[in-house]
């Protein structure tokens, strides 16, 4: 497992292209794609945030692990062990366990693969690919 942590404390505006593939236990799959502008903050922890119609998505990572937020929902991941989470859904909290299978990050992309479990077993395997391209001030005009 490889991850890149920068320590220079810079903030970079990015063009974001996110493709998420969810493979459910029964063999069905679902693909979600976002294109947005976002902010990448590189420091002791690295944080990427961008807005979608469904709410803000944030991914924060560092030596301690990864936090993936979407609106009020949040999942935590550890590089070495499974983590139980209290995941917020519109109808209440649901206990979900995350198992990080792969995580790679650099200034151009974030790749992540994880299994998601409920109390009865595996719900899905998720693949997330986030590509980032710095954009200049002139592109905003």
Please list the pLDDT of the chain residue by residue as tens digits (141 residues).
333 344 456 667 777 777 676 766 677 888 888 888 888 888 889 999 988 888 899 999 999 999 999 888 999 999 999 999 999 888 899 999 999 999 999 888 999 999 999 999 999 999 999 988 876 644 543
Q: What is residue 8's predicted lDDT score, i.e. its pLDDT?
A: 55
Query: 3-state SS string over 30-72?
Result: EEEEEEEEEEEEECCCEEEEEEECCEEEEEEEECCEEEEEECC
pTM of the complete model: 0.81
Going from the N-terminus, what domains does the chain have, and what CATH number goes with each?
10-136 (2.40.128.20)
């Amino acid at each position: 497992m490889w991850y890149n942590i920068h320590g220079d404390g810079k903030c970079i505006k990015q063009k974001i292209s996110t493709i998420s593939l969810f493979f459910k236990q029964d063999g069905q799959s679902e693909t979600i794609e976002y294109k947005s502008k976002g902010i990448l903050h590189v420091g002791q922890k690295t944080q990427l945030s961008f807005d979608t119609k469904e709410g803000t998505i944030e991914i924060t990572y560092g030596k301690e692990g990864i936090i993936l937020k979407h609106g009020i929902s949040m999942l935590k991941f550890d590089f070495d062990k499974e983590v139980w989470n209290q995941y917020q859904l519109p109808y209440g909290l649901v206990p979900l366990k995350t198992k990080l299978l792969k995580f790679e990050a650099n200034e151009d992309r974030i790749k992540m693969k994880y299994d998601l479990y409920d109390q009865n077993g595996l719900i899905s395997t998720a693949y997330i690919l986030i590509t980032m391209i710095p954009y200049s001030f002139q592109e905003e005009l």
